[in-house]
Structure 1
Amino acid sequence: MAEGGVRHYKEWTPRPIRRGRYEYEDESKETSTILNLLGYGSVIRQKRIDLYKEKDRLLRYLLFKCLNADMVVITAGSKAEGLTCIFESDKDVINVIPYNACLEDGVDDSTIPGHINVFKMDTQGCNSGYCRPLLLRQGRLGNHPAIIHSLCDDGYGNIILSSTCFNEYVRTTIMQLFSNPTAHYSPMAGPSLPWSVGNLRNDAVQAICCNCPVILQKWASRTRYWPPQRIVEKVITLGAFVTPIGCKGSEFNHMEWRVCFNTAETELVNNLNITQVNIYIMLKMIVKDVLKPRKKEITSYILKNIVLWLAENNPQTLFHSGSLLHFLHVGLDMLRTAISFIQLPYYMLPERNLMAERELDVEQQRVFVSSITDMLEEGPKMLLRLNKIRQAIICHPEPLLWFSKMRTELEMVRLEQTNRLGQCLITYLGIHQTNTIKQRFIEFIESDITLQACEQRVNEIMFEVRLRLLLEGSSVTFSNQLEDMILS
């Protein structure tokens, strides 16, 4: 292996495990049941996935209708995967810049319509997974302000798209256009612009569509147990994106863009079986409750890649409710190895080392490795370190079942209500001019029967929750904080 390189995925990943009976099988089954009650079951996950897809569709229509913006908005990350409640984590959103495309070297640009800006992925001198977009031709519709602002000369007569200029323009423009006293904008984290309104946290990333058939075919041609061929073929059709962030330490950092496969990864996670999903969820709990990284040294993205490698390299029949804790241990061991060697191949592009840009010092490595080792030696007792699991174990089954039912229904009603509000706005804009006063729209939505029913059901659920808290001697708050706590 070359100095500083990444081991080949076949060298790095564990060999398939073949067992008839797993240690801690009964505890694994009980843990699977608890995770289902906590809102991570297949049914509620699929419902979340469907609702966020509908939300994206409505938002795209509204952007076009109100702002004449032909932008594709895609929910990504844990929300698109149905893994988190409304306020449980950030909502990752990809804003795809329209009429721009970045092509892998060798792709015929004549296949791209003439009204689209075409960039070439220049990877010379870049770390794996990064490129410099060189402008091949300008299209008449590709003049997005952020694109125009970020085009510059590379000193060799080439027009290149600067990621630094792009991010500066986007942040400045968004804060000017969408200034809101209730919205809080944080400093950019990589390519994303974090912002929040109350407990609703968002990470917005701007992206350009990327056509990279060689990279995807290389991924597709790997020997694997998973995913099945039909999913492999679908992943290829989803393509990729380039996002405005360079590799840390690179000479061309300000010019580089990262190749990402967000929609492909969402499709892959949504095709994991329930045990593999539970492994992912529990790894995230361990990082949050036990390892507690200070500066995102270990992210959910790292854990997602570990689970994807685990799924690809083991027969799917081995993943069942009784093997949950066994494979959780395997996943933890993989994480420990990644931390120890500062090395984890990116699932979609193994030549890229996901740990290379982690700011891990020797002391952090030692602490993380020691903590993981302790957990591996504890067996099922390590579950008591995880707040949600511990509370569920301590809690009597009946209250847990009741709370799960209330929380699930409350979340679904709120998501349905949000989508219905979007549908009402679309209907309203079809009837009235866009400059109609705000009060008319408020009156319009207040008369909607579906929205009224949603709000009534929310009030009924919250009344039941407050009443039960009161009867059990708990303090009761009548503010919105209680609802936010339930949905967090």
Structure 2
Amino acid sequence: MEDLSCILFDTLDCIGYNQEMIKYRRRAWENLTPIPTVKFTPITAGSKAEGISTLFQSDIDRMLILKDAICTDKIGEVSKKSNMTVLHTDTSESPHGYTRLKVVSTNGQISRLYLKDSMFESESKDIYVSSSLFASNMKNFAMERFQDCNLSGPAVFSSCQQLTSQDTVLALQCDASKILQKWKSRRRLNSWPPAEVREVAASMLAEVVPVGSKGSCDQWREWRFCFIESELKLTCSLNETQIKLDIILKMVAKDILKNISNEISSYIMKNVTFWLSELLQRVEFRKGNLLALLFLSLRFLRSCISQRYMPYYMIPGRNLLAERLTDDNRQKLSELLDALLTEGPSLILRLPKLEAAMNVSLASPASIVEHRNRRDMIEKLHLDFGMCWLRHEEDLSYVSILSRIPMLYDIVEKMCHLVMPDYGTCFNNRIPAEYYIAEMLERVKSILS
């Protein structure tokens, strides 16, 4: 099985999951994150920020954080801050991982504008902010910002021309140092995350987003803690094998488990990777052990589903499976995971992208390396093109962008030569740029999806 693990590891390298491409994507999305405005600090989250998905593979996850509001349990330290709205994170009556937001002061002009219609008076005459009212009010904000959008949970979904779509969450920054210090200091059997990574992750600000605990009678007033930047720090500390394990688990969720339930999300799979990374010695995460680690992960997931409990890595008391699975779905998922574990390495053949690449890799190792070089070059050019496109997404035509940014002509020409052997004919026949660029992007999408 070690030989097959090595083949699988190398195959992932050849389809866009090598360290060089992952780092390239991380840098690209770090550079792409919009400049903070007077109102918001933007954050790119999810698989884009982690560098493990191409532009076409998943939506862009963005968080816009109100700049003049802070949620905290250290009221004495921040209650007198001028020009800041201060909210107390009252967790006394909320499930693990959730909080109510009690208004301490409303000195922030911008946040007061966004929060005022979401406030309500409690039985004790204290003023709180309702998550459900805030999420509903987001629709008005979204309609002003996006032409075509809809709400999904706490996120606003919007399309962005032919390149990608975006989920945007309006959130509040949060000092959750007590939670993070508890996370940092809890007993661990092994050395992941490294002490220096834990120290940095525990020093970062968190966020609260407007969504309550499923099944809670107070869901409408509860907010959920998030640790976007801390978790990104953890992901970036994973080694190559851990990253590839996470990628395969997300493929399993998307290509296999999704046929039974959408509730086993890529985020749940990331938590499986985190837990396994902490529970096993780092020496176990090596190239020849990739398949064995996959089976251990699926057993861990199978156990969590059986017990109806998946601990959230940052706050183990929060159950990521709470109210997610019906008895029927739970039973079917358990049976499917049992079947996958019985199949052994052949379960890889259920993952279309990996199956196709491994067939090429086994039949012609030289061919798959040539494919890697070409696809990586295409993706790097496409990222450079996409970054410029997304920065000017208000433009409605390719030509207008190219005319405003002449340097893009070079990128477009190189991409066209790589994916369109007939490019010279299009150019010589003076076919309008928007037509051949649209065709080029469709071909790039096919290669990178």
Taking structure 1 as the reference length, the TM-score comes to: 0.82
Residues 1:461 and 1:144: Cα distance change in structure 2 (over 3 Å) = farther
| Paired AA for residue 455 in structure 1 | V
Moved more, 149-158 or 232-241: 149-158
Change (3 A) 1:140 1:373: closer
Amino acid at match of 2:218: F
Shift in Å, 1:401: 2.9
- CA distance in 1: counterparts of 2:280 and 2:90, whole angstroms: 36
Partner in structure 1 of residue 169 of structure 2: 205
Q: 2:152 corresponds to which residue?
A: 189
Contact 2:106 2:112 in 1 (8 A): no
C-alpha distance 133-447 of structure 1, shift in aligned 2 (>3 A): closer
Q: 1:100 is matched with which residue? A: 69
* 2:297 pairs with 1:331: yes
1:82 and 2:69 are equivalent in the alignment: no
Q: Secondary structure at the match of 1:83?
A: coil
Is 1:55 the equivalent of 2:32? yes
Indicate whether 1:483 and 2:447 are aligned.
no
Instruction: Name which of 444, 453, 456 aligns with 2:413.
Output: 456
Within the candidate set 101, 124, 127, 1:159 is matched to: 127
Give the counterpart of 2:18 among 33, 38, 41: 41
1:75 aligned partner, one-letter code: T
* Equivalent-residue separation in structure 1 for 2:108 and 2:440 (angstroms): 52
Counterparts of 1:79 and 1:196, CA distance in 2:
16
Alpha-carbon contact 1:130-1:257 (below 8 Å) kept: yes
Instruction: For 2:125 and 2:187, locate their aligned partners in 1 and report how far apart those are by CA, in whole Å.
Output: 43
Structure 2 residue 90 is matched with structure 1 residue 125: no
In 1: Cα distance, 2:95 partner to 2:245 partner: 31
Aligned letter for 1:271?
S
CA distance in structure 2 between the partners assigned to 1:263 and 1:55 by the alignment: 16
Residue 139 of structure 2 is matched in structure 1 by 171
Report the aligned-residue RMSD. Answer: 2.5
Query: How is 1:308-327 mapped onto 2 (pairs within 5 angstroms)?
Result: 308-327=274-293
Q: From the superposition, tell whether residues 459 and 26 of structure 1 become closer, same or farther in structure 2 (CA, over 3 Å).
A: same
TM-score (norm 2): 0.89
Equivalent residue letter for 1:49: R
Match of 1:397 in 2: 365
SS of the residue aligned with 2:89?
A: strand
SS of equivalent residue, structure 2 residue 221: coil
Q: Report the Cα offset of residue 250 of structure 1.
A: 1.4
The answer to whether the 8 A contact 1:90-1:202 is kept is yes
Between the aligned residues of both structures, percent identity stands at: 30
- CA deviations on 1:220-273 (whole Å, 9 max, x unpaired) are 002232111111111012221100001112121111100111111111111111
Contact 1:115 1:142 in 2 (8 A): no
Is residue 127–residue 247 contact of structure 1 (8 Å, CA) maintained in 2? Answer: yes
Tell me the secondary structure at the aligned position of residue 36 of structure 1: helix
Give, in angstroms, the shift of residue 399 of structure 1.
Answer: 3.9
Corresponding letter in the other structure for 1:90: D
**What does the per-residue CA deviation read over 1:322-376, in whole Å, with 9 as the maximum and x for residues that have no partner?**
1111111110001111111110111000111111131x12222222111111221
Cα distance between partner residues in 2 of 1:374 and 1:319: 24
For 1:23-422, what aligned pairs fall within 5 Å after superposition?
24-56=1-33, 59-60=34-35, 64=37, 69-104=38-73, 106-110=74-78, 113-179=81-147, 183=148, 185-186=149-150, 188-197=151-160, 198=162, 200-224=164-188, 225-293=191-259, 296-358=262-324, 360-395=325-360, 396-420=364-388
Q: Which runs of 5+ in 2 are unaligned?
A: 425-437
CA distance in 1, matches of 2:27, 2:51: 9
TM-fit CA distance, 1:290: 1.7
Contact 1:60 1:71 in 2 (8 A): no
Q: Distance in 1 between matches of 2:265 and 2:390?
A: 32
RCO comparison, higher one (Cα < 8 Å, 6+): 1
Aligned residues: 428
How far does residue 483 in structure 1 lie from its aligned partner after superposition?
2.2
Q: CA deviation at 1:27?
A: 0.9
One-letter identity of the residue aligned with 1:232 = R
**Matched residues in 1 for 2:173 and 2:46: separation?**
18
Q: Report the 3-state secondary structure (helix = DSSP H, G, I; strand = E; otherwise coil) of the residue aligned with 1:292.
A: helix
